[in-house]
Chains A and B, each alone.
Chain A
Amino acid sequence: MSDSLISETMKDAVDIVKDHANDDHTHDVDAGDVSAAGHDGHDDHGGHHSSLGLSNTKLAMWLFLGSECLLFGGLISTYMLYRNRHSENLGPDQLWDIPFTSASSFVLLTSSLTMVLAVSAANRKDLRNTKIYLGVTAILGGLFVAGQIYEFTTFYREGLGFTTSLFSSSFFTLTGFHGVHVSIGIVMLVATIGMLQKNKISGDKAEAVEMVGLYWHFVDIVWIIIFTLVYLIPA
């Protein structure tokens, strides 16, 4: 990656933050600034007047991700409770292939970088690079899911089915939920590319890309936690 691209991206990140500061429509009550509320539906972010200066969509996405934290919290707790409840020869120590999972984790984390680049390109209104980076993100995500399918298949061949033990059930449930989240993310990425291609995003395009990005980063962060707790900590 060239230095100029890095500096461009950094500058862009700063601009995004500044941009949000500008979003804050402060209303001077005494000035009778009434008409602005609920009417400026066609401002930069295609949203309503907003009391917080944050667009509705973005706020909603953050709330949703907050809720998702509890979902994964419950699943991770269940796994941590049951991770030692397995038969002698089919536990984490016998099954894990740390180099392989590290590689697929690296792929997933790299996809976060390309996602950032896509958001940055979208903020520059550079549609071509936006689509390219979104595509690369989707491909990296696809590689990760493929790696997970390969891993699941291997475990299954070694005798670890979904119902083999409490450990296996909670492992497959946790990582399966995460895999489904990644897959949904890929669908979102591909759909976003398609809608950008056909110009079917009626609001702010950069924000639509940023929403997908928020979700994607969240799923990545969850994987960091899963990778640490499930794979790296010895049983």
Chain B
Amino acid sequence: MAIIERPAETPEYVAPAPTASGNYGYLRRPVETEGWRSWAFTVDHKKIGIMYGAVAMFFFIVGGVEAGLIRLQLAGPDGTILSADKYNQMFTMHATTMVFLFVMPMAAAFANYFIPLQIGARDVAFPRLNALSLWVFVFGGIFLNTSWFLGGGADGGWFMYAPNSSVPFSPSNGVDFWTLGLQITGIASLVGAINLITTVLNMRAPGMSMMKMPIFTWMAFVTQMLLLFAMPVITVALFLLMFQRSFGATFFSVEAGADPLLWQHLFWIFGHPEVYIIVLPSFGIISEVLPVFSKKPLFGYPFVVFSGAAIGFVGWGVWAHHMFASGLGPISVAVFSVATMAIAVPTGVKIINWTLTMWGGKLTFTTAMLFAIGLIVQFTVGGLSGVTHAVAPSDTQQTDTYYIVAHFHYVIFGGGVLGLFSGFYYWWPKVFGKLLSESWGKWNFWLMIIGMNLTFGPMHIIGLQGQPRRMYVWTEARAGEGFFNLGFWNLVATIGTFILGVGILLFLINVWVTHRPGNSTPDAPADPWDARSLEWITSSPPKEYNFARTPTVSHLDEFFHRKYEDRADEPGADGPTDHTAHNYVQVRTGEEVIQIEEDNADPNIHLPAPSYWPMVLALALPVMAYGVIYNTLLIIIGAAIAVMAMFGWALEPADADASDFDPKPDGPDDGGETSKELANV
């Protein structure tokens, strides 16, 4: 796994280092800079991040359609839109898609795009592995969803409790697709985690200590740590289930003497950290957004960092609160109950930090800011209902009702998805060079907030009223009277879902309006928000090589400190006020800061060359997975492709051959930008 990078080049171009191409008789590395090949074989973390985001957005729509069908079915009594079987598949695939194919990869999109930019690196530590993560995720997601056309989706619920998910109770291939599909996307997460952790730990710009890292990078780092240790646990569970379903083992068969709680423990040891995997990236995003639009530094940066890390640790000790109703015994229940209340503390610390960041600030209510504030409010609601689950006697009443559904949607949609949308609006000009429309954005925000509260708010009521989750119909006869009438609130929830759907549609329309051909919207300024962190010390969208020169960091909020200087101590200045010992005065604009960097651009920039092999290797995995379900021969073919791809990977030339470039590196029409143009390849 050598790190592949372009050899050092001066503007005059020096021949590649002796270790590079020449003595390799294998495929050359691709060099295309345009067309689909430049995306398919890219190892550029920014392109990979954009593709992650686009594919995740597609799956968000798929999962949303599934949610819409579920709510249509439940809008009135005795719904007939879905059969019981299809309904089971629908809620299982809705959750699976949203968790594994939307929120996680969307967070990975942000992490991929912004971690290198925020720490002043030119790319991630292992660019080819990064491409591998992307394609493994894409093919795994497609594989998982092909089950719809091959006998139906998985139908055991997203936590797929065994033995309920074993063959007698779930005879279609849906669960097999689910098991193998999650194995595949799990590989993507694991490889991505190793890559991004290495990047954060090892590739920070000079001067950037861990405690000077932008907060989003910190939270993404904690997330990747959780993934690193959570994925192998679900992998074990999935293997055991696969062996049970495909090869006749009895790990979960109670009649063979198996322990019915084994699956639950394995699943939730993964599953609870997974909750923090979902929300922590969003916490990081809004911790970037709130200070910028409050014109204040993040309140208590170390507290936000350490409470995030504390969540990362304590998150491992609360899994059994998902199992209070399973008869664990009083000691286990008490311990996990207390641990669950304890984890509310670092979460509460964060909420206080965000609130105090806004306190006394000059607030600007942009769409990004609105989504960030929306997260604080909605996540607090979800957090409070979460504390009611920590009380075990209360939880045993609530468990498997819609109250739980209400809770985790406030947490995951309120705490996760709203943060991602905040990130879309905040970083869109950074990634695509255009500002999304604020007026469409406001509509987008308010419809989503109203929609989500109408959808998930009533679920508290219908849950406490006793409507069980996962029932495909409810009947008028038992719907209750007056305010607590199930029928009324179910209808409200369904209407809310469609308001929410329109809100999300407005986002897509906003993107289209901003980027439609012939749109006269000017390009976004380089520093549209007066931002604070390192990713803005470069043009928007960033060049392939990220930074004209590798930034040297001396402050947390480096970009801010380059724009503003503290004049508190100078004679004649206004002097310290009652509230602060600082008196920051703008000394240069963001554009000027960027110009200084470009004027001092590094002469030598070398970037990794693209590669065919990540995609080929990723393609081998679904082939093997189909083989497990249908035909052993396919396993062998898939394995052969994988082995070939691994050797191709290892033996690939370290660089593209110089003669493959167009224009030629020493051609007549290259100017002083030669090394950068080359680096683009």
- Flag if B651 contacts A39 (CB, 8 Å): no
- Flag if B194 contacts A67 (CB, 8 Å): yes
B340 is an interface residue with CB less than 8 A from chain A: no
Residues on the A chain within 8 Å of B122, using CB: 38
- Flag if B202 contacts A59 (CB, 8 Å): yes
One of A54, A68, A202 near B654 (C-beta < 8 A): A202
The CA-CA distance from A78 to B235 in the complex, in Å, is 13
Known A51-B202, A202-B19: A39·B8 in contact at CB below 8 Å: yes
Residues on the A chain within 8 Å of B438, using CB: none
The CA-CA distance from A173 to B10 in the complex, in Å, is 55
- Bits for B522-555, please: 1 = Cβ < 8 Å to A, else 0: 0000000000000000000000000001111110
One of A67, A74, A163, A173 near B190 (C-beta < 8 A): A67
Residues on the A chain within 8 Å of B125, using CB: 48, 56, 59-60
- Flag if A37 contacts B205 (CB, 8 Å): yes
- Flag if A169 contacts B550 (CB, 8 Å): no
Residues on the B chain within 8 Å of A49, using CB: 203
Known A42-B8, A81-B259: A71·B606 in contact at CB below 8 Å: no
CB distance from A45 to the nearest CB of B (A): 9
- Flag if A67 contacts B231 (CB, 8 Å): yes
- Flag if B201 contacts A52 (CB, 8 Å): yes
Q: Tell which of A7-15, A28-36, A125-133 binds the partner.
A: A28-36
B24 is an interface residue with CB less than 8 A from chain A: yes
Known A36-B206, A51-B202: A68·B606 in contact at CB below 8 Å: no
- Flag if A66 contacts B228 (CB, 8 Å): yes
The CA-CA distance from A201 to B23 in the complex, in Å, is 11
- Flag if A59 contacts B121 (CB, 8 Å): no
B237 is an interface residue with CB less than 8 A from chain A: yes
- Bits for A50-63, please: 1 = Cβ < 8 Å to B, else 0: 11101011011001
A85 is an interface residue with CB less than 8 A from chain B: yes
Residues on the B chain within 8 Å of A70, using CB: 229-230, 232-233
- Bits for A199-235, please: 1 = Cβ < 8 Å to B, else 0: 1111100001001000000000000000000000000
CB distance from B144 to the nearest CB of A (A): 22
- A71's nearest neighbour on chain B, judged by CB, is B232
Residues on the A chain within 8 Å of B235, using CB: 71, 74
- Flag if B8 contacts A41 (CB, 8 Å): yes
B596 is an interface residue with CB less than 8 A from chain A: no
- B244's nearest neighbour on chain A, judged by CB, is A169
For window 165-187 of chain A, which residues contact chain B by CB distance below 8 Å? 165-166, 169-170, 173
- Bits for B628-660, please: 1 = Cβ < 8 Å to A, else 0: 000000000000000000010011001000000
For window 92-127 of chain B, which residues contact chain A by CB distance below 8 Å? 120-122, 125-126
Number of interface residues, chain A, beta carbon within 8 A? 55
The CA-CA distance from A199 to B19 in the complex, in Å, is 9
For window 212-256 of chain B, which residues contact chain A by CB distance below 8 Å? 228-233, 235-237, 239-240, 243, 247-251, 256
Residues on the A chain within 8 Å of B228, using CB: 63, 66-67
One of A35, A46, A169, A201 near B249 (C-beta < 8 A): A169
- Flag if B197 contacts A63 (CB, 8 Å): yes
Known A33-B206, A39-B8, A162-B247: A203·B3 in contact at CB below 8 Å: yes
CB distance from A187 to the nearest CB of B (A): 9
- Flag if A48 contacts B203 (CB, 8 Å): yes
Residues on the B chain within 8 Å of A39, using CB: 8, 550, 602, 604, 606
CB distance from B41 to the nearest CB of A (A): 19
A64 is an interface residue with CB less than 8 A from chain B: yes
- Flag if A166 contacts B258 (CB, 8 Å): yes
Known A46-B3, A85-B257: A63·B205 in contact at CB below 8 Å: no
Residues on the B chain within 8 Å of A169, using CB: 243, 249-251
CB distance from B389 to the nearest CB of A (A): 26
Size class of B's contact patch? 35 or more
The CA-CA distance from A234 to B229 in the complex, in Å, is 31
Residues on the A chain within 8 Å of B198, using CB: 56, 59-60, 63
The CA-CA distance from A162 to B250 in the complex, in Å, is 10
- Flag if B3 contacts A163 (CB, 8 Å): no
- Flag if B201 contacts A162 (CB, 8 Å): no
- Flag if B550 contacts A74 (CB, 8 Å): no
CB distance from B265 to the nearest CB of A (A): 8
B345 is an interface residue with CB less than 8 A from chain A: no
For window 598-635 of chain B, which residues contact chain A by CB distance below 8 Å? 602, 604, 606
B444 is an interface residue with CB less than 8 A from chain A: no
B17 is an interface residue with CB less than 8 A from chain A: yes
- Flag if B240 contacts A173 (CB, 8 Å): yes
CB distance from A28 to the nearest CB of B (A): 9
One of A51, A64, A71 near B204 (C-beta < 8 A): A51
For window 144-163 of chain A, which residues contact chain B by CB distance below 8 Å? 162-163
A6 is an interface residue with CB less than 8 A from chain B: no
B508 is an interface residue with CB less than 8 A from chain A: no
- Flag if A78 contacts B203 (CB, 8 Å): no
Residues on the A chain within 8 Å of B207, using CB: 27, 29
B1 is an interface residue with CB less than 8 A from chain A: yes
- A25's nearest neighbour on chain B, judged by CB, is B206
CB distance from B503 to the nearest CB of A (A): 38
A191 is an interface residue with CB less than 8 A from chain B: yes
Residues on the A chain within 8 Å of B259, using CB: 81-82
Chain A to chain B: the 4 pairs with minimum beta-carbon distance, closest first? A74-B236, A27-B206, A71-B232, A203-B2
Can you list 30 A-B pairs with a CB-CB distance of less than 8 A? A27-B206, A27-B552, A34-B206, A34-B552, A35-B550, A35-B602, A38-B122, A38-B203, A41-B3, A42-B7, A42-B17, A48-B3, A48-B125, A51-B203, A56-B202, A60-B125, A63-B194, A67-B232, A71-B235, A73-B232, A75-B236, A165-B256, A166-B251, A166-B256, A173-B243, A191-B650, A195-B651, A200-B651, A203-B2, A211-B1
16 A-B pairs besides A39-B602, A56-B125, A70-B230 with CB distance below 8 A are A33-B552, A34-B206, A34-B602, A39-B550, A41-B606, A48-B3, A51-B202, A60-B126, A67-B190, A67-B232, A68-B232, A70-B229, A78-B262, A169-B250, A202-B2, A203-B3
- List chain A positions with a Cβ less than 8 A from chain B: 27, 29, 32-39, 41-42, 46-52, 54, 56-57, 59-60, 63-64, 66-71, 73-75, 78, 81-82, 85, 162-163, 165-166, 169-170, 173, 191, 195, 199-203, 208, 211
